Amino acid sequence: MAQVKKSENVPKPMQEKYKEIIEITDSFSRENLNDEYAQLIRFAVAALCRKRPSPVGTGKANTWACGVAHAIGMVNFLFDKSQSPHISAKDLYQKFGVGESTGNAKSKAVRTMLGMYQLDPNWSLQSRLESNPMVWMLSVNGMIVDVRSLPREVQEIAFEKGLIPYIPDDKE
């Protein structure tokens, strides 16, 4: 699995649209989520702005803001009442002033363009990486194994190759 390079760099022609979307998502994140979500959303918006041609070049800023926030939320189970923070999809759509079908369609487009899926290590909240099984499962000689159960030498190799975000024993 290739790791996504996260950056807020945006081509000059897309900087105004990026700022417009980010103003909306940052405000939404401050009121309903947290800084961790806000940062991931900014990375996702920037990634969309770097696409050629950029899909965010057309359409309303609030629909793109809603779609990206919903997509990041789906990856991180934002709509699960047992999670914190939590918001219902319906409330998310309302806060962006977007209809359910529009918000859902934009979210699907974002997830497709950025290759997102639930528990995607590339788009998971940093605070949830440790408990995300997708981060730690690797194929070794055709067998799927949890790298945390392997010797440190193997973990170091996996880390050097960018297959895991950190060496588990070094976390503390």
Contact 124, 75 (CB under 8 A): yes
Q: At what angle do helices 61-75 and 100-114 cross, to 10 degrees?
A: 70
Domain ranges of the chain: 12-121, 129-170
Q: Distances in Å between the alpha carbon of 124 and those of 29, 93, 153? A: 16, 21, 26
* pLDDT at residue 1, as a whole number: 47
Q: What is the pLDDT of residues 51-78, one digit of tens each?
A: 999 999 999 999 999 999 999 999 999 9
> What pLDDT is attached to residue 172?
57
What per-residue confidence (pLDDT) applies to 141?
87
Q: Tell me what pLDDT residue 46 has.
A: 97
| Strand ranges, E, within the chain | 137-140, 143-146
CATH of 12-121, one of 1.10.472, 2.60.40, 1.10.357, 3.30.420: 1.10.472
State both tokens at 79.
């709509």
* pTM for the model: 0.87
pLDDT tens digit sequence for 74-98? 999 999 999 999 999 999 999 999 9
DSSP readout, 69-117? HHHHHHHTTTT-TTSSS---HHHHHHHHT--HHHHHHHHHHHHHHHT--
Specify the pLDDT at position 81: 95
Mean pLDDT of the chain: 92
What pLDDT does residue 109 have? 97
DSSP 3: P
Residues of the chain above pLDDT 70, percent: 96
Could you tell me the two tokens for 119? 């528990």
> Mean pLDDT across the stretch 99-118?
96
Q: Of 14-23, 60-69, 154-163, which gets the smallest average pLDDT? A: 154-163
Coil, strand or helix: which one is 137?
A: strand
Amino acid identity of 8?
Answer: E
The alpha carbon torsion through 59, 65, 8, 74 (nearest 10 deg) reads: -120
For residue 4, the model assigns a pLDDT of: 60
